[in-house]
Amino acid sequence: MAAPDTSTADLPDEEIERVPGEGDMWFFVLFESLVFTAYFCVYLYFRTQDERAFLEAQSALNLPLGIVDTIVLLTSSWAIARCVQEARAGRYPAARRLALATIGLGAAFFALKLVEWVNLIRGGHTFTSSDFMQHFFFLTGMHAIHLLIGFVALGILVHQLSDPQRRSQETIETCSTYWHTVDLYWVLIFAVLYIVR
């Protein structure tokens, strides 16, 4: 790693050290992760104070649906990582198809989330029904807002890929970094809401 910058020109593409996307987006990723961590800490602490009630309310969740949902979002994350690879190789039509696939998978995740919410609310589990559900709807709701903002990022990405004049690898990677962040938050939320006992 001590090698000066000039020597990296000889290395194969895979070995060059570079920040994926703009560094500023990484600031957002780190900052917002800490904010989410704070929410999780509050939830875990209050959960231990009344474990019985939390466990009972938690049992209303549909774990298989949550797992399917998680896999859908992980796949969308994979698709956008592939999209970045294709864009880097200059295969823009393929990259664009993968970006559209990401949007589709993101929309599928959101649709499953809506189904889950509606089922819970029909079953009498609402934002105000219990402490667990309060945390559940808050965390999944905050995540959904980040997901919806992610569609803006994906829209910018598709827009860039569609027009040869606009294509900027940095912007493409920045948008993809944001989308992965949405995935990361879900990975953590899923573990603390569905699995933790």
Partner 1 sequence: METSSKLRLLAAWLVLVAITVIYLWIDRSADDGGTLAASTIVTISAIFLALAKVRIVMREFMDVRHAPPPLRRLTDLLIAVIGVSLLTSYLIGRVVA
Partner 2 sequence: MSIVSNLRANLRTDPKRELWFTWYSTVAFYSLYSVVFFVITRTQPPGKPWLDPEQTVEWFADRHGGLLFGFGLIFVLGGWSATAIALIAYSIRRMSVSRAFAYSYLVLYLIAAVPGFLLICIAMTAGALRPDRNPEMQRWLYDLGFLSFSGTMGVFLVGSLIWMAAILLDKNRVFPRWFGYLNLCNALTEVVIAPSWIFQRGVLAWDGVIAWWIDVAVFGMYTGVFIYLLRDVIIRDDLGTGPLPERPPGRPRRLHPLAKVLR
Tokens representing residue 64 in the block = 């298989």
- Decide which of partner 1, partner 2, none touches 25; Cβ closer than 5 to 8 Å per partner kind: partner 2
- Contact between 111 and partner 1 (CB under 8 A)? no
CA gap 189, 194 in Å, rounded: 8
- Contact between 134 and partner 2 (CB under 8 A)? yes
* CB of residue 41 to partner 2, shortest distance in Å: 9
Within 56-115, the residues that bind partner 2 by CB under 8 A are none
The upper half-sphere exposure of residue 32, i.e. CA atoms within 13 Å in the direction of its Cβ, equals 16
Helix residue ranges, H only, 10-130: 23-49, 51-58, 63-88, 92-122
Q: Phi and psi at residue 56, in whole multiples of 5°? A: -65, -45
The upper half-sphere exposure of residue 184, i.e. CA atoms within 13 Å in the direction of its Cβ, equals 13
Nearer to partner 2, 4 or 23 (CB): 23
- Decide which of partner 2, partner 1, none touches 6; Cβ closer than 5 to 8 Å per partner kind: none
CA gap 59, 94 in Å, rounded: 43
CA gap 134, 128 in Å, rounded: 6
Give the DSSP letter of residue 132.
H
Within 143-172, the residues that bind partner 2 by CB under 8 A are 145, 149
Query: Can you give the binding site for partner 2, defined by CB under 8 A?
Result: 22-25, 27-28, 31-32, 35, 38-39, 42, 46, 127-128, 131, 134-135, 138, 142, 145, 149
Query: Can you give the binding site for partner 1, defined by CB under 8 A?
Result: 1, 12-20, 26, 30, 33-34, 37-38, 40-42, 44-49, 51-52, 55-56, 59, 63-64, 67, 70-71, 74-75, 77-78, 80-82, 84-85, 89, 173, 176-177, 180, 183-184, 187-188, 190-192, 194-197
